[in-house]
Amino acid sequence: MLTIAGLAFREVLHKRVLVFALLMTAAFLALYGLALHYMVRDLGRLSNPLMAQVAVTQLFSVGLYLGSFICSFLAVFSAVGTLSGEIENGTMYAIVAKPIHRRDIVLGKYMGYAAMMACYAAVFFLSLLGLVYWKTNLVVSGIVPALLLFCLQPLVLLSITMLGTSVFSTLGNGIAVLMLWAVSTIGGMIEQVGTMIPSQSLINAGIISSLILPADAIYRRLSYTMLAATDNPVNALGMLGPFGTQSPPSNAMLIYTIAYMAIALLLAVRAFDRRDI
C-alpha cells in the first residue's frame, strides 16, 4: 500500500495540475495581499473602527472560502482519473496482476493524494493566516482545529472522487463530483440565508445538501470556529454574507463527515475489487 501511496504522492508532484495550482496560489496570495494592503490603508481614514474590523473579517472569510475552493478543485482534478484513467490507458494491467490486494491500490492512492492535499492545504491556510495577521493584526480563535478542518475539506472530496473513479469513466466522474460539489456549495449558502430570514425549509435544504456531500459544511464549521467568538459581537457582523456562517454545523455533522469518507472509501474498494480491468 505504501508503494502505491508513494507513487501517487510523487505523481501529483509531476502532474502539471500541481504546478499550475501552485502558480495560481502564489498569484492569488499576491493579489490578496495587495487587496489587504490597500484596504488597510483606506480603512485608516475611516472614522468608524467597527466598520474596519467588519471589512477585515469579511475579506478573511473570502480568502478562506477561495482557499477551500482551490483545495477542493485540486483534490478532484488530481484523483479524477486515477483508477479509471489508468484502466483506460493500460497502466493498471501490470499493477493489478502484481501480488497485492486491489484494496491496497485504492487505499494507497488515497493515502498518497491525501498526504499531498493535506500538505498543500496546510501551507495555503498558514500563508493566508500569516498574510492577514501581518497586514491587519486580525486575531482569530481556534487556529489548530480550523487548520485541521481546512485540511479535511479536500479529503472529503478526494474520498468521493475515489469512489467515482472506481466506478465511472474519468469524464463521468469529473462531471459527477463537480455537480455534487456545486450542490453542497449552493446548499450551504441557502442554509445561511435560511438562518438569517429565518426559514426552516431553507435550513433543511442546506442540511440535505450537506448530507449529500459534507464539503461546504466543513468550511462553515471552520469559518465559525475562527471568526464567531461569542464574546465579540463585531464578529457577528463580519459573518454576514455568503462566505460567513450564521448556522454552524454540529459535532454530529463532523462525525457524519468522517463516516461519509470511510463509507465512500469502502465502497470504492468494493467497486474496484469487483471491476473487470
For the CB of residue 233, give the shortest distance to another protein in the complex, in Å: 54
The 3-state DSSP class for residue 249 equals coil
Closest C-alpha to 143, from 156, 155, 128? 128
For the CB of residue 7, give the shortest distance to another protein in the complex, in Å: 6
Binder to another protein among 26, 31, 91, 204 (CB under 8 A)?
91
Residue 61, burial from CB neighbour count under 10 angstroms (0-12, 13-18, 19+): buried
Does residue 93 bind another protein (CB under 8 A)?
Answer: yes
Q: Cell numbers of 80, please?
A: 479524477
The angle formed by the CA atoms of residues 274, 86 and 119, to the nearest 5 degrees, is: 100
The angle formed by the CA atoms of residues 111, 104 and 152, to the nearest 5 degrees, is: 20
**Helices (DSSP H) in 90-169: which residue ranges?**
91-96, 102-136, 143-167
Binder to another protein among 95, 186, 189, 240 (CB under 8 A)?
95
Does residue 11 bind another protein (CB under 8 A)?
Answer: yes
**Distance of alpha carbon 207 from its chain centroid, rounded?**
18
Does residue 3 bind another protein (CB under 8 A)?
Answer: yes
CA distance 162 to 113: 10
For the CB of residue 49, give the shortest distance to another protein in the complex, in Å: 53
Q: What are phi and psi of 258, to 5 degrees?
A: -60, -45
Nearer to another protein, 231 or 276 (CB): 276
Binder to another protein among 39, 43, 62, 96 (CB under 8 A)?
96
Q: Binding-site residue total for another protein (CB under 8 A)?
A: 19
Q: What are phi and psi of 165, to 5 degrees?
A: -70, -20
For the CB of residue 64, give the shortest distance to another protein in the complex, in Å: 33
Nearer to another protein, 30 or 277 (CB): 277
The site string for another protein over 256-275 (x = CB under 8 A, - otherwise) reads ------------------x-
Stretch that binds another protein, among 90-98, 217-225, 237-245, 252-260 (CB under 8 A): 90-98
Does residue 20 bind another protein (CB under 8 A)?
Answer: no
On the CB side of 93, how many CA atoms lie within 13 Å of its CA?
4
Check whether the bond before 198 is cis (ω within 30° of 0). yes
For the CB of residue 4, give the shortest distance to another protein in the complex, in Å: 8
For the CB of residue 120, give the shortest distance to another protein in the complex, in Å: 19
Does residue 101 bind another protein (CB under 8 A)?
Answer: yes
Nearer to another protein, 12 or 265 (CB): 12
Stretch that binds another protein, among 32-40, 63-71, 98-106, 244-252 (CB under 8 A): 98-106
Asked if residue 5 lies in contact with residue 108, where contact means CB atoms within 8 angstroms, the answer is yes
What are the residues binding another protein (CB under 8 A)? 3, 7, 11, 14, 89-91, 93-101, 274, 276-277
